[in-house]
Structure 1
Amino acid sequence: MVDPLAFRFVNTLRATGRGLTDAFATPESTHDWLLANAANLGVYLDLEAYHPTEADRLALVELRRNVRALFAEAVAPQAPSSADAAVLPPFADALAALNRAAAPVLRRLEWDDAGPRPEFRLLTSGDIDTLRAGLADAAIEFLTGPLPEQVRVCPAPRCVRYYLKAHPRQEWCSVACGNRARAARHYQQHRD
């Protein structure tokens, strides 16, 4: 199963063996992520021709911070991801920021021979507003759907990802994180 867009968006911040990496570290890497996720953005924007500025990149980073704050609320009382727990805005501020970002989206229901489907109408002409609105709408869609109760924070050492608990016995976001957690536990037991 492919992760929903909102999930991929919050997990653009992740840990590697070299430390924390950010898919939005530069305007170029931001453009690469947008291109890789273009099919799921639900916005009518030529992403091949669009090249984010530094201000655009910062706007997306700020939106991600707000969506991660909402994910942190979704996993409560579990602790939020350690990647940015210290810099997350308060829940009410994050909720208001997400709704402001989504404001340019008008979602309509279209129904044709293929059946019902949502159609987005954007009430903005600015590229960054369009992107923020599409990502905010994806977060709203995700957070109001059936999956938020399955969101967990990976407890493996150095991991900062959120994951969807697909199986009752699943404890980590990946096999690699499970191995790292077991190795750390083994090391700790034998060190003591």
Structure 2
Amino acid sequence: MTERPVMELASTIRHDGDGGVLDDLDTVRGARRWLQRRPGILATATATATATATGDLVLDEELREAVVDVRRAVRALFARVVSPAPPSPADAHRLLPVDEAMRLLNAAAAREPVAPQLHWPAEGPPTAGLLSAEGDPGVRLVAALARDAVDFLSGPQREHLRACHAPRCVRYFIRSHGRQEWCKPSCGNRARVARHYERTRAADPS
């Protein structure tokens, strides 16, 4: 199942498998590569918003920094959600204050003026969409990521957010069942191996 944009954005901070941390948005080239691999997010920014709002997304340093700012706000608020459990260790030492994170996220979401639109085909149920008055696809991208974060943080999925604490992992994930402790099976395997090692070492201190 495809993750929602806010989870994909938060997961651009990830472990490298050897105890280090990678940042997919560290450079313009890296951010462009990450976005190109996510056509759903890219379509949000490049789709025609109005009759005159067309054009391709140009991902430059300014836009990269704006996306990173939304991510910083998201990860700070994710840390608040999982508290009092520990947050992801990747950025626990440099999280934004909660008030600053909320201001940043709300400001990013407000950059794009949108209006709800009803769509009701002759055959099928009605659906809702958003009509944008913003012509800059970069603004639409940042605002869409921020809106998805606001929707997630104010919705029922928030209660299932967890930080994965398997060895070396730095991901946040949405728990799919009550006993889920790790973001994916490989993390569970690493955690079980680490626990077995610790038990074995405790039983044989020599």
Question: Do these two structures clear the TM 0.5 threshold for a shared fold by scoring above it?
Answer: yes
Q: Which residue of 2 aligns with 1:70?
A: 77
Give the drift of 1:118: 3.1
Q: 1:32 is matched with which residue?
A: 33
Q: Which residue, 97, 101, 107 being the options, matches 1:94?
A: 101
**2:12 aligned residue:** 12
Q: Could you give the per-residue CA deviations for residues 71-104 of structure 1, whole angstroms, max 9, x where no partner exists? A: 1122122121111111111111111111100001
1:108 aligned to which of 111, 116, 128: 116
Which has the greater radius of gyration?
Answer: 2
Q: 1:97, 1:8 → 2: CA distance?
A: 19
Output the CA distance in 1 between the equivalents of 2:118 and 2:11.
Answer: 31
Matches within 5 A, 1:162-177: 162-177=172-187
* Partner of residue 128 from structure 2, selected from 118, 133, 142: 118
User: 1:123: Cα distance to partner?
Assistant: 4.0
Q: Alignment RMSD, CA only?
A: 2.1
Tell me how far apart the structure 1 counterparts of residues 35 and 88 of structure 2 sit (CA, whole Å).
Answer: 23
Q: Give the deviation of 1:42 after TM superposition.
A: 6.1
Unaligned runs of 5+ in 1: none
Instruction: Give 3-state SS (helix, strand or coil) of 2:126's partner.
Output: strand
Per-residue CA distance 1:110-168 (angstroms, 9 max, x = gap): 13124333322334333332211010111122222221111111011111101111122
* TM superposition score normalised by structure 1: 0.89
Identity value in percent: 39
- Contact map agreement 2:13 2:170 (CA 8 A) in 1: yes
Q: Is the 8 A contact 1:23 1:29 kept in 2?
A: yes
Give yes or no for the alignment of 1:153 onto 2:154.
no
Unaligned runs of 5+ in 2: 48-54
